[in-house]
Amino acid sequence: MANVVLKNTEIENIQRYYENDQIFNKDVKFSFLTGESWYVVKSYGHIFKNSYTVEKKYNLDLNQFSLDQIAEIVVKLKPKTSASSYLYLSLISAYIDWMIKSRTNHSINPLDTVGIKEYAEQFVFKV
């Protein structure tokens, strides 16, 4: 991640900020982030950078993942608290919902089939 301080989250600035990072399907993900606060952009960037290897493994964008595939990403993120696990799952769910509404024929968010708060508990990384 570049040490760049940007004032707005237009797509060009997001691209510049993450230009050296591996993110699967960058154009779509950056389009999703356009207009969000930098806090949100950085939070999603953390997820998208960590989901890259899993997305590449299945050759699918995160929005097409099953519940088990989403779980692989959350395990990889190693949340230290149930609140951080819940946050990761909530952010992933929001991205999937956006894709369902705007880009794909995929009509079911797998995270809608579980209670995210309870589901998040199992991913807390124990040291």
Domain boundaries, the chain: 11-123
Contact 111, 70 (CB under 8 A): yes
Residue 8 has pLDDT above 60, yes or no: no
Give me the pLDDT at residue 11, please.
74
Classify residue 60 as left (phi > 0), alpha (psi -120 to 50) or beta.
beta
30 Cβ partners below 8 Å, 6+ apart?
Answer: 11, 14, 15, 18
Residue 121 has pLDDT above 50, yes or no: yes
pTM of the model: 0.81
CA distance 15 to 88: 22
- pLDDT band at 104, cuts 50/70/90? low
Per 3-state DSSP, what percentage of the chain is helix, strand, and coil (rounded to 5)?
A: 65, 0, 35
